Structure formats: structure tokens, C-alpha cells
Amino acid sequence: MEVKIARTAGFCWGVRRTVDQVMQVADQAVGQVVTLGPIIHNPQAVARMREKGVGTVNAIAEVAAGTTVVVRTHGAVKTELESAEARGLAVVDGTCPYVKYPQAMAQRLSKQGYHLVIVGDANHAEVKGVVSYAEGPCTVVKPGGAVPDIKDKKVAVIAQTTCIGADFERLVGALALRHKEVRAVNTICNDTEERQADARSLAAEVDAVVVVGGKNSANTRHLAEICRAIQPRTWHVETEAELCPEWFDGCKVVGLSAGASTPDWVVEGVAGWLRGLEGQPVGAA
């Protein structure tokens, strides 16, 4: 059985940058180091950082004096950053630059009088952070959700960086028919679009797909959804411990994709398990 790994599987540039920052701070800081929320949506990576002595807090109010705070890849709510500054805490901003873009656009567009619409998950850390930068009316629409009934004539639409392009396009088109002015700013990360395109191509070429990454990772879940729509034999796992040999009965080629927050060593662990099936009976083709 052949294992094909997607070209973009594993850490994206932004996540790798933040993880490297945390490790560097952990090695150099004199006092305690904490991240404001899980640094990335991957339990294995968070556990490894915990072994380095890096803790996790949910709010600045939980942080003791003298602690260094690292802002996670997804960014933070503006008031939390202001609270850290007011307390004089050392803050290392690990926000991905691609996440800073929708934050900046949320502030700019709302200042220009637009009713801001964000396509994304309202409960996701990134979206909460982006919403906090809006200085006017703001509506979050779940991908694939109902078109909101907005009374304002001017509407601006941005997206969570991991949003599927078709969901963003659909909402922009629908709003354009309802409002006098609709401004669309594509804030979807280029890596996300490339990763999703790779996943589509991979799913069309294989007999089964394994998507690796945290169950609470939005971009990983989206990859699994994309693959499953093309190849029904798609499984989303966090590690090789969840894999079952019978899933691959009759398979000659298995595809492997991974979310942007999935560490390389986790991807390799799954790839190694799959390669271990080579030469073993996996059912009739």
C-alpha cells in the first residue's frame, strides 16, 4: 500500500514562527512563561510546551506579576492586550501576520462606516479577536449559515483566515443583492487556499484519506470535510493511536493531509503507521 503525503501537510509558516517564538522565550525567560490560550489547536504540541514549563491561561487576570505572556497564533481580544499593557506584563506577540490582517481590516472598515460581516466561527479565538477590533456594528455568520438581515446600506465582508473560499463567495454574492454597497476583502490565508487545493487533488487520486490534526482545529476540520466530499473513506485523527487497520481494506494508495497546526512529528507518526501496513493483507482490492 502506497502512502501519498500532501505537499502542504503540517505546520504552516505562521504556526511554525509562533511555536519557535515560544520555545525561544521558554529558554531565555527568567520567570514563568504562559500562553494566552492554547498556542495552537493541537493537544500534542501544547503538551510538549508544557514539558518545557510553558503554562496556559485563559485571561490576563490569571497571570501573576513578572510572568511573560505569549499571544497565540490566533491572536487575542484587544481588551486583554490592553489589560496586559496596563499591568506592565512582558508580552510576546505570536499572532500570525495573516491573522493581523483581518484585525486591521475590521478596525478600518468599521471606522469607514460599514456594517462589518465576518464569515467564520463566532466561538473561535481568531474570530473573537477580530470582532474586538471592530468599532461599529459587527455580525458573525457561520460558514454555510443563513444570510443575515442587516438594515445598514453599507456592508463590508471579511473572513476567518481558515474559511473555505466558496462560503465567503456565497455570502458576498447574497449580500450584494440586498445592499446598496458591499465591500468584500478576502482575508483568507493563502496557505489555507493552497492546503485545501492540495487536499482536493489528493482525495481524487487515492483510495482513502487520513487527515491529521487537532479535533478543535478549524482548518483541519475543513480539510477533512473537503476530502470526504470527494473520497468518502476519509478519517480525521489526532495521532496514529486512533487508526484502525480495517479502515484501509482493499486500499492500494492512501493519502495523508494535515492541518496547519499539526507538528511534523505527529504527521510522521501517522505516516509511519500507514507504511507499516505495507506488505500486510488489507483485504481484497
Per residue of the chain (285 residues), give pLDDT as tens: 899 999 999 899 999 999 999 999 988 877 899 999 988 888 888 888 899 899 999 999 999 999 999 999 999 999 999 999 999 999 999 999 999 999 999 999 999 999 999 999 999 999 999 999 999 999 999 999 999 999 989 999 999 998 989 999 999 999 999 999 999 999 999 888 899 999 999 999 999 999 999 998 888 999 999 999 999 999 999 999 999 999 999 999 999 999 999 999 999 999 999 999 865 544 433
Active site residues: 126
All three cell numbers of 156: 463590508
Stated pTM of the model:
0.84
Q: Collapsing DSSP states into helix, strand and coil, what is residue 214?
A: coil
Please give the order of strands across the beta sheet that includes 2-5: 2-5, 253-258, 208-212, 234-237
DSSP output for 143-156: TT-PPP----SEEE
Sketch the domain layout of the chain as residue ranges: 2-10+191-275, 13-95, 98-188
Do the Cβ atoms of 196 and 164 come closer than 8 Å?
Answer: yes
Helix (H) or strand (E) holding 255: strand 253-258
Domain 2-10+191-275 and domain 98-188 have a common topology: yes
98-188 topology per CATH: Cobalt-precorrin-4 Transmethylase; domain 1 (3.40.1010)
13-95 topology per CATH: Rossmann fold (3.40.50)
Segment 46-54 long-range contacts (CB within 8 Å, at least 24 positions apart): 48/263, 49/19, 49/22, 49/23, 52/23, 52/26, 53/26, 54/22, 54/26
All three cell numbers of 227: 476530502
53 conformational bin, left if phi > 0, alpha if psi -120 to 50, beta if neither? left
Give Cα 196 to chain centroid, integer Å. Answer: 12
Query: What is the length of the chain?
Result: 285
Do the Cβ atoms of 161 and 99 come closer than 8 Å?
Answer: yes
Dihedral (CA of 163, 166, 169, 173) sign: negative
How far apart CA 128 and CA 76 sit, in angstroms, is 8
How far apart CA 154 and CA 143 sit, in angstroms, is 21
HEC per residue, 65-116: CCCEEEECCCCCCHHHHHHHHHCCCEEEECCCHHHHHHHHHHHHHHHCCCEE
All three cell numbers of 153: 446600506
Integer CA distances (angstroms), 246 to 52, 59, 70, 255, in order: 37, 44, 42, 16
2-10+191-275 topology per CATH: Cobalt-precorrin-4 Transmethylase; domain 1 (3.40.1010)
